Structure 1
Amino acid sequence: ESVRGKDVFVIQPTCAPANSNLMELLILTDALKRSSANSITAVVPYFGYARQDRKAAPRVPISAKLVANMMQTAGIDRVVTMDLHAGQIQGFFDVPVDNLYGSIVLIDYLKSKNLKNPIIASPDVGGVARARSFAKKLSLDLVIVDKRREEANKSEVMNVIGDVAGKDVILIDDMIDTAGTIVKAAGAFKQRGANSVRAFCTHAVLSGPAYERIGEGLLDQLVVTDTIPLRQECDRIKVISVAPLFGEVIRRVYHDESVNSLFN
């Protein structure tokens, strides 16, 4: 089918296998550009390589910037994604970037649970801003996990800042990878008398021992979106679809309507 003069939306997450998925996106974009498409919008629910957004050590790449350059060179005119690991990645692009928030669908599900005594938690200091935003929208209190290694060759100590006794704790993070931090935080909350611990994360990377750790039972439930397909079924994992949200955003972009008003 001809795409000449058409506004094309390419839906392609860059989750594992990340390199193959990225190349598919770039090659398809090149084909569309050479076929005289009017505009090409990359809809990337999960933006891979996002954790490499700065030089954290000598002689390492800034892969997020490299990928942004490659996407633009291929001919992408706009990017629609969700919960970038670092918001400043939007500045790596010289084209418009719509960074959507998974919280809009996660909050709706959380409200439907009708928890008796909920409290929002951040699994580490770095995620406080995200958790605070969640807590503000729900008018709930916030607790923080401060993990630190007191001595060399000793395991990390999980210090909980705030009272969780008798509370239904809701851990908030943008992604869950090996589940180590989340499960350790859940254990720390349970030791301090939490009634239940749930984690709400947009991107379910779930690599390595993640499924085994979740199955240990310290985490009562993991709620994620479908930006990344699950590798296997798990009774403790609830998947919320963000397809309707992306569909509405695509409609608004096509008709030149505001995207930001969706989240106000």
Structure 2
Amino acid sequence: MILSGSASQSLAATLADEMDESLASVEYRSFPDGELLASAPGFEDTRAIIVASTISSDAHLELLQLQDAVREWGAEEVVTVLPYMGYARQDKTFERGQPISSRAVARAISTGTDRVLTVNPHETAVCDFFDVPAEPVDAAGRLADPLPDDLTEPVFLSPDEGALDIADTVQATYGRGVTDYFEKKRLSGTEVEMTPSDTDVTGRDVVITDDIIATGSTMSEAVSLLQNRDVGRVFVTCVHPMLARNARTKLAKAGVEAVYGTDTIERAVSQVSVAPAIADAL
């Protein structure tokens, strides 16, 4: 039986259809003192698949409560699916006294589950922080589906070399084109210097790929560099469309024709579902 965190209701429903599984009713409440309660009053199964993107501290707490609720109902196996794992990018310390936040949340989640799946974490090494079997699910290939069929000599660009595997996967799934990446140098916690690749983009359509778009600053800078080189159309794809604050506006102003994301974070740009990739892993 599949249960959903409040931030992943559409994906959970799609996954239930994909797997021909029952979808449990889940209730979410908030008390006057700010405390939350996520419950599963109609759960009746020995196996629970909890689908919950932990996009906020409240979402983390909901997940822990749902894990406890299904155990209370007698679930013998609990599988936790994290379409988007919050705090996954805080996987190391930068100053003395800081926590490794991804390790802290992984340990907490591990207490209520038997297995964890997480979709395209920023670093797959975060799976090692869990105290139960945990594995990444690669859904990057799904990003090729919403792209136009008539891309002109497409170039699939990654914002840095570290994310080139996503560009390679999208290009391979699309079936034609080349891949390349920007040189990225981080100047501070908020400032990044981008250097264009040597690939000739004149008159060619470019698809910029990444695992996550948060504020959109790095991505919009990359697009601006391309516009200075007479690029054709520019599309942006990402697995996790966080798009915080005015990120979507930044990208539009930079000249992006369209932004495509998956439903790991449910946004207006979520044009494709990761449900098939999750179903295969389950």
User: Do both proteins adopt the same fold according to a TM-score greater than 0.5, normalized to the shorter chain?
Assistant: yes
Q: How many angstroms does 1:3 deviate by?
A: 5.4
Name which of 103, 109, 115 aligns with 2:146: 109
Cα deviation, residue 181, structure 1 = 0.8
Matching residue of 2:156: 120
Residues 147, 159 of structure 1: 8 Å contact kept: no
Report how many residues are paired.
238
Match in the other structure for 1:89:
126
1:217, distance to aligned residue in structure 2 (A)? 4.6
- Summarize the Cα distance change of 1:129–1:104 in structure 2 as closer, same or farther, 3 Å threshold: closer
- Shift of residue 244 of structure 1? 4.4
Aligned partner of 1:36 in structure 2 is 74
1:45 to 83, 86, 91: 83
Contact 1:3 / 1:37 at 8 angstroms: preserved in 2? no
- Structure 2 residues without counterparts, runs of 5 or longer: 1-40
Residue 179 of structure 2: aligned partner:
142
Amino acid at match of 2:105: V
| Aligned-pair CA distance for 1:4 | 7.0
RMSD in angstroms over aligned alpha carbons?
2.5
Q: Secondary structure at the match of 2:85?
A: coil
Q: Distance in 2 between matches of 1:155 and 1:92?
A: 28
Structure 2 residue aligned with 1:132:
168
Letter in 2 for 1:87: T
1:242 aligns with 2:235: no
* Partner Cα distance (1:93, 1:155) in 2: 31
Give the counterpart letter for 2:275 in structure 1.
Answer: A
Which of these residues, 231, 237, 258, is aligned with residue 221 of structure 1?
Answer: 258
Which residue of structure 1 aligns with residue 101 of structure 2? 63
Relative to the length of structure 2, the TM-score reads: 0.76
Residues 119, 24 of structure 1: CA spacing in aligned structure 2 closer, same or farther, 3 A cutoff? Answer: same
Aligned-residue identity in percent: 30
Distance in structure 2 (CA, Å) of the matches to 1:103 and 1:62: 26
Contact preservation (8 Å) 1:121, 1:145: yes
Give the number of the structure with larger relative contact order, counting CA–CA contacts within 8 Å between residues 6 or more apart: 2
Aligned-partner Cα distance in 1 for 2:270–2:74? 42
Give the distance between the partners of 2:218 and 2:62, measured in 1 at CA.
32
- 2:223 touches 2:254 (CA, 8 Å); kept in 1? no
CA offsets 1:187-241 (integer angstroms, 9 cap, x no match):
11111121111111010111122122023152111110111122xx5xxx46222
